């Protein structure tokens, strides 16, 4: 009798940002088998050209898909999802769950009808993002802030290094120009990893929203019979880096294997 086994849920990001989504997945699906892949050799993605990013994201995700034998791919990167979800879905034979800025819940929550979007340079100006704002926050003012510097800070923090409070304060400053803004969307998966620093650096209380829980809910719907976790899960990188290995180990992933990308 054939024994059918479903592979792990593969989580992909440019760097460690997807680990914020891993946290949400583990809370919702504590027994599911997870694997992690990142394109650390080429991160950050946030200021790269779309014409370079699309084939690159496809190549890395296809390579990780082939070696992980995954049952689903979670594209835990807003910069990648707002650009490459459709070609990835066309290319892979498993469900692909994307991560896009949580504009809809933010608009539902805002009393003042003024929300902030904190994301990479790429994400804040993508047609996909503008369409989300048009569809779900048409009656809101949306202050879009490129905060690429926070990606580097999140990588440092996870690697056990200190975070630069001045960088965080400067990155957030454009949000506070108008006093009525009451909700901030964390539209980059790296940013929830810095949440305590973001709250500390804010001159007033606002609601911070990220997409982690919504993605985990969606994954639970799409992969109802997720296979049970092999601990530690496999991980895949595009370049060896001892600090990254330590960050992955802290989230329960095995020593990474290097993907060969042509
Ligand atoms: N974590 C990624 C995102 O959600 C992007 C970080 C980067 O590589 O710029 O957009």
pLDDT per position as a tens digit, 31-72: 899 999 999 999 999 999 999 999 999 999 999 999 998 999
**Three-state DSSP class for 176?**
helix
The encoded tokens of residue 175 equal 């949000």
169: CA distance to ligand 1 center in Å?
A: 19
Sheet holding 183-186, edge to edge: 141-146, 114-119, 183-186, 207-209
**DSSP H or E run through 75:** strand 72-75
Cα distances (Å, whole numbers) of residue 151 to 95, 121, 127, 194: 27, 11, 22, 9
The 8-class DSSP code of residue 174 comes to G
Whether 1 shows a pLDDT value over 50: the answer reads no
Atom of ligand 1 nearest to the CA of 190: 1
- Catalytic positions are 77, 188
pLDDT tens-digit series, residues 215-225: 999 999 998 87
Q: Residue 212 contacts by C-beta under 8 Å, 6 or more apart in sequence?
A: 20, 21, 23, 24, 189, 192
**Residue having the nearest C-alpha atom to atom 2 of ligand 1:** 77
Atom of ligand 1 nearest to the CA of 46: 9
pTM over 0.85: yes
SS (H, E, C) 106-121: HHHHCCCCEEEEEECH
Confidence class of residue 6 from pLDDT cuts 50, 70 and 90?
confident
- Give the span between the Cα atoms of 262 and 254, in whole angstroms: 24
The average pLDDT across 98-124 equals 98
Q: Phi and psi (nearest 5°) for 135?
A: -75, -35
Whether 190 shows a pLDDT value over 90: the answer reads yes
Q: Phi and psi (nearest 5°) for 164?
A: -90, 110
Whether 194 shows a pLDDT value over 80: the answer reads yes
84: CA distance to ligand 1 center in Å?
A: 13
Whether 10 shows a pLDDT value over 80: the answer reads yes
pLDDT given for residue 189 in this prediction:
98
The CATH number fitting domain 9-99+213-258, selected from 3.30.70.270, 3.40.190.290, 3.40.50.1860, 3.30.300.90: 3.40.50.1860
Neighbours of 122 (CB within 10 A): 24
**Three-state DSSP class for 30?**
coil
Looking at CATH, the fold of the domain delimited by 103-210 is given as: Rossmann fold (3.40.50)
Residues of the chain with CATH 3.40.50.1860: 9-99+213-258, 103-210
5: CA distance to ligand 1 center in Å?
A: 32
Site residues for ligand 1, CB cut-off 6 Å: 13-15, 17, 43-46, 77-79, 120, 123, 151, 188-190
């Amino acid at each position: 009798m054939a024994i059918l086994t479903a592979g792990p849920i593969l989580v992909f990001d440019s760097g460690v940002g997807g680990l914020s989504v891993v946290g949400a997945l583990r809370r919702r699906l504590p027994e599911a088998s997870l694997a992690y892949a990142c394109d650390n050799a080429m991160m950050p993605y946030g200021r790269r050209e779309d014409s370079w990013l699309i084939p690159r994201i496809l190549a890395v995700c296809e390579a990780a898909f082939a070696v992980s034998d995954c049952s689903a791919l979670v594209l835990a990167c807003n910069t990648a999802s707002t650009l490459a979800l459709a070609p990835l879905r066309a290319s892979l034979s498993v469900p692909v769950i994307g991560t896009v800025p949580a504009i809809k819940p933010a608009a539902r929550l805002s009393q003042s009808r003024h929300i902030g979007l904190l994301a990479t340079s790429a994400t804040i100006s993508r047609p996909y993002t503008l369409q989300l704002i048009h569809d779900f926050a048409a009656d809101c003012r949306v202050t879009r802030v490129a905060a690429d510097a926070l990606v580097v800070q999140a990588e440092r923090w996870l690697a056990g290094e200190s975070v630069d409070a001045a960088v965080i304060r400067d990155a957030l400053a454009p949000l506070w120009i108008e006093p009525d803004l009451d909700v901030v969307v964390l539209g980059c998966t790296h940013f929830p990893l810095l949440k305590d620093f973001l709250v500390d650096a804010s001159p007033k209380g606002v609601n911070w929203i990220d997409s982690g829980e919504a993605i985990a809910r969606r994954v639970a719907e799409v992969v109802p019979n997720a296979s049970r976790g092999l601990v530690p899960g496999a991980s895949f990188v595009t370049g060896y880096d001892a600090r990254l290995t330590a960050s992955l180990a802290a989230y329960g992933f095995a020593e990474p294997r290097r993907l060969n990308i042509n």
